[in-house]
Structure 1
């Protein structure tokens, strides 16, 4: 089920209410924890509410924390706790739009690199300019930043 960026806040709030009514405490607690981060971010926002892109970013970070925790619990032979963290990560995943694919990232980068790279410029300096140009065209919340960095490095090395 795809959602529009503008209604992620209301969708989180509606799903929280629904999970409370159905006494689904795991879902309610998971959504509540993310909403707490959203409300904390709202307090520092200029107009009192952070944009949906920030909410998606908070959701991705929350999911990553749970995935990392699950792998640490597996290493410690605590499959019960690992399953709980994985379940919460999957709940959060349902709120996230899909990330851009490597091919989509490459397509954007291939238009940017020739514009940004000066003749004979070293890759390190070019990388900063390319990254800045990339993020001016692509919303950070729609990509895996590690993949972007890896692709920029690979494409600069091959050009």
Structure 2
């Protein structure tokens, strides 16, 4: 089942259950998917990878907004972002642990022959491909940088 169809069904369920928090998150996902679809063209179908990328983008936006709101002591807005983030993350594939990400990045470093920080670009492309949907880019970058500086 396509993600959009699943979201539509979840929206109906949330409406029937009068779950306004879940409904708000689901509507944000639906809006982002529709926007991505219109950017690709009316006849184009979104691939699963594109749908995951849209969800990751939404999750990243919510994390960043929540962080800003928390720093500004805006608990009301912070809570909204965290609630929507939980709904969005429920549709994302399970995220890998830091140890698993580190193991994969080490493997990429070995495969690419990277030797230091100057080879960061060589490592990030393949690492992002292998970890697409399973880890966020910021974490991958932090781990790669630490391994290349230390290694």
Tell me the TM-score normalised to structure 2 length.
Answer: 0.80
Q: 1: CA distance between counterparts of 2:36 and 2:89?
A: 20
How many angstroms apart in 2 are the aligned matches of 1:75 and 1:156? 32
91-100 or 68-77: bigger deviation: 68-77
Distance 1:76 1:158 in 2: 36
Query: Could you say which residue in structure 2 is the equivalent of 1:84?
Result: 80
Please say if 1:102 is aligned against 2:98: yes
Q: 1:134-145 to 2 correspondence within 5 Å?
A: 134-136=127-129, 138-145=130-137
CA RMSD of aligned residues (A): 2.5
User: Does the 8 Å contact 1:127/1:156 carry over to 2?
Assistant: yes
Q: Secondary structure at the match of 1:98?
A: coil
Structure 1, unmatched stretches of 5+, are 1-5
Alignment TM-score, normalising by the size of structure 1: 0.77
- Name the structure 2 match of 1:131: 124
- Other-structure match for 2:147: 155
The 1-side partners of 2:148 and 2:50 are apart by: 29
Gaps of 5+ in 2: none
Judged with a 3 Å threshold, the aligned counterparts in structure 2 of structure 1 residues 14 and 69 are, in CA distance, closer, same or farther, namely same
Partner of 1:67: 63
Quickly say closer, same or farther: Cα 1:123–1:86, change in 2 above 3 A.
closer
- Shift in Å at residue 41 of structure 1? 1.0
Deviation (angstroms), 1:122: 5.1
Deviation digits for residues 53-91 of structure 1 (CA, Å, limit 9, x no counterpart): 222222232233233333433444432332222222222
Q: Say whether residues 1:113 and 2:109 are aligned partners.
A: yes
Rounded Cα–Cα distance in structure 2 between residues aligned with 1:67 and 1:113: 29
Separation of aligned partners in 2, 1:128 and 1:86: 32
Pair 63,130 (structure 1): closer, same or farther in 2 beyond 3 Å: closer
Q: CA deviation at 1:139?
A: 4.2
Q: How many residues align?
A: 150
